[in-house]
Amino acid sequence: MTDPSAANHTGQQRSPQQGATTNDLRQTTEGSNAASDSPAAAHDDWDVEQTDNNIVPLTRAEAEQLFGAKVSRPSRVTPFKVVAAQMVVSLVAALICWQFLSRPGDAARSALLGGAICWVPGALFALRLRGFGSQQSVVGLMVGEAIKMGVTVAMFVVIAEFVPDVRWLPLLLTYLVALKTYWVALALR
């Protein structure tokens, strides 16, 4: 559906929605037009490339060939195992702080609190997952993650305001190490 009044001097017609003739587009994609070096033209070329790519998911046999036979095995890593691992990491960090830092009581307590900031929200999320079972939706997971983040922030604020003599270095290091426990558990699955 082209507008005859939109014809240019070569007789090619432009659609009001298109704004460019076929020759204009051909020149841009062939690189003969100086405007093709602009970022906008490069973005248009990228869009054309992306629409040409057809992404086909791997079959089970192809996935096993690429990643090994264990790829189709169900994961043994459950949210409760991750939370248990985070608790163990917190206890180990507290023991290390107790043994090697000056004023060990404050440092060990701070390390335990740092670990708790990680595993308490994780445990709440795991309980929420178990409560919903297979009826969990994407929105339910997003709400669970929002609750988890809210509890994490609230715990940081409560500890900053109401816990005397908190040692921030052991607290933050234990929090970060416990947080990374999830990725280690996934790698060891």
Digit-coded pLDDT (tens) for 171-187: 999 999 999 998 887 77
Domain that holds residue 141: 79-187
SS (H, E, C) 126-165: HHHHHHHHHHCCHHHHHHHHHHHHHHHHHHHHHHHHHCCC
Q: Six-digit token pair at 182?
A: 């999830």
Separation in Å, CA 30 to CA 21, 22, 44, 106: 14, 12, 12, 68
Q: Which residue has the tokens 């169900």?
A: 74
Same structural domain for residues 39 and 91? no
Instruction: Let me know: does 108 contact 94? Beta carbons within 8 Å.
Output: yes
The pTM of this model reads: 0.62
Non-local (6+) Cβ contacts of 6 within 8 A are 13, 14, 15, 16
Same structural domain for residues 47 and 100? no
Same structural domain for residues 99 and 176? yes
Same structural domain for residues 167 and 106? yes
Task: Report the mean per-residue pLDDT for the chain.
Answer: 78
Q: How many domains does the chain have?
A: 2
Q: Residue 16 — very low, low, confident or very high, per pLDDT cuts 50/70/90?
A: very low
d(CA 173, CA 181): 12
Residue from 20, 27, 59 nearest 35 by CA = 27
Q: Residue 7 — very low, low, confident or very high, per pLDDT cuts 50/70/90?
A: very low
Q: Six-digit token pair at 93?
A: 């960090």
Q: Which of 38-52, 68-82, 99-113 has the lowest mean pLDDT?
A: 38-52
Same structural domain for residues 94 and 44? no
pLDDT tens digits along 31-70: 444 444 555 555 566 666 666 667 788 888 888 888 887 7
Separation in Å, CA 182 to CA 85, 118, 157, 189: 8, 10, 24, 11
Domain annotation covers residue 62: no
Domain annotation covers residue 57: no
pLDDT confidence of residue 60: 82
pLDDT tens digits along 153-167: 999 999 999 999 999
Domain annotation covers residue 74: no
Q: Which of 112-121, 122-131, 132-141 has the lowest mean pLDDT?
A: 132-141
Same structural domain for residues 43 and 134? no
* Greater model confidence, 39 or 20: 39
